[in-house]
């Protein structure tokens, strides 16, 4: 049995080495190579300048906004789904859009938000002023939040679903109002799901680049667009690797901090 367990772990180890360890090692190596192919610390000197510092701050700010919007929408939605008699239908409606390719959904929003899109055409029919919604930071926040809302809802829903019904009933029997039960019982017991939802939203939101390009244009510049620009446009692989390496370190730090807080909460 032990030999079988050792054999079964081999594919996982190979996957880790090929797709995680080797790419990170390559990033570290290329981060010390300048644009002329020489060993240098130039990339690290550049990334510590105010220009890149502002880019990281902007990326964190947008990721925080996306996470907050997603959480504000997802928590009440998860609560409604948990205690709805149409739970299965609502879950199906929630999950089906996640099967659609991200690029297709992004182009669908372009059709909605563009100058000649469906929204502006509808406003024009009613003789209302039209708006330039595409290529704005607001459009970027809207689309990015829409992408992550289903995942946040599912994680919070699973936490709410795991709350024993007798705990809610006991709170009511002891005289607690529905608002007090929600505040004192449901919210604390769904903390784990909320934390996981924040991780699932905040960490990838730091490095969005496709949505940023297609929806926000040049209005939003974050870490993801900077990495894409360095690799594909400028072809400065050293600087792109350095930015990516700092992003990985920051993501790992976020995971460690949120996990430690979660563990403390359990204890």
Give pLDDT tens digits along the chain (267 positions): 677 777 888 888 999 999 999 999 999 999 999 988 899 999 999 999 999 999 999 999 999 999 999 999 999 999 999 989 999 999 999 999 899 998 899 999 999 998 888 999 999 898 888 888 889 999 999 999 999 999 999 999 999 999 888 888 888 888 888 888 888 888 899 999 999 999 999 999 998 888 888 898 878 888 989 998 999 888 899 999 999 999 999 998 888 887 744 445 444
| Domain containing residue 101: CATH number | 1.10.3720.10
| Residue 64 neighbours by CB under 8 Å, 6+ apart | 202
User: Do the domain assignments include residue 199?
Assistant: yes
User: Do the domain assignments include residue 138?
Assistant: yes
User: Do the domain assignments include residue 150?
Assistant: yes
User: Do the domain assignments include residue 16?
Assistant: no
User: Which tokens go with 15?
Assistant: 């996957």
Q: How many CB atoms lie within 10 A of CB 215?
A: 27
User: Do the domain assignments include residue 180?
Assistant: yes
The per-residue pLDDT for range 22-31, each reduced to its tens digit, is 999 999 999 9
pLDDT at 176: 83
Q: What is the total count of domains within the chain?
A: 1
pLDDT at 208: 87
The per-residue pLDDT for range 187-244, each reduced to its tens digit, is 899 999 999 999 999 999 998 888 888 898 878 888 989 998 999 888 899 999 999 9
User: Would you tell me the crossing angle of helices 191-205 and 137-161 to the nearest 10 degrees?
Assistant: 150
d(CA 194, CA 107): 30
* Averaged pLDDT of the chain: 89
pLDDT at 262: 45
User: Do the domain assignments include residue 233?
Assistant: yes
User: Do the domain assignments include residue 18?
Assistant: no
User: Do the domain assignments include residue 133?
Assistant: yes
Looking at the DSSP bridge assignments, the partners of residue 33 are: 39
- The domain of 221 spans 48-256
């Amino acid at each position: 049995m032990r030999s079988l367990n050792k054999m079964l772990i081999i594919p996982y180890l190979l996957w880790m080495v090929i797709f995680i360890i080797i790419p990170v090692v390559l990033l570290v190596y290329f981060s010390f190579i300048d644009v002329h192919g020489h060993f240098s610390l130039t990339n690290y000197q550049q990334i510590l300048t105010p220009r890149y510092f502002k880019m990281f701050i902007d990326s964190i700010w947008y990721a925080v906004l996306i996470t907050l919007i997603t959480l504000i929408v997802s928590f009440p939605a998860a609560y409604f789904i948990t205690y709805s008699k149409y739970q299965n239908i609502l879950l199906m409606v929630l999950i089906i859009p996640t099967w659609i390719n991200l690029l297709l959904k992004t182009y669908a929003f372009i059709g909605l938000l563009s100058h000649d899109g469906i929204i502006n055409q509808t406003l024009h029919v009613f003789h209302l002023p039209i708006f330039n919604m595409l290529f704005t930071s607001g459009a970027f926040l809207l689309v990015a939040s829409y992408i992550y809302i289903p995942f946040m809802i599912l994680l919070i829903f699973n936490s709410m679903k795991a709350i024993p019904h007798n705990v809610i009933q006991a709170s009511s029997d002891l005289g607690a109002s529905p608002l007090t039960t929600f505040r004192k019982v449901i919210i604390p017991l769904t903390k784990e799901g909320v934390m996981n939802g924040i991780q699932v939203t905040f960490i990838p939101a730091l490095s969005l680049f496709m949505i940023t390009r297609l929806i926000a244009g040049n209005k939003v510049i974050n870490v993801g667009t900077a990495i894409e620009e360095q690799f594909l446009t400028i072809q400065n692989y050293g600087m792109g690797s350095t930015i990516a390496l700092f992003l990985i370190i920051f993501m790992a730090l976020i995971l460690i901090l949120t996990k430690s807080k979660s563990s403390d909460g359990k204890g």
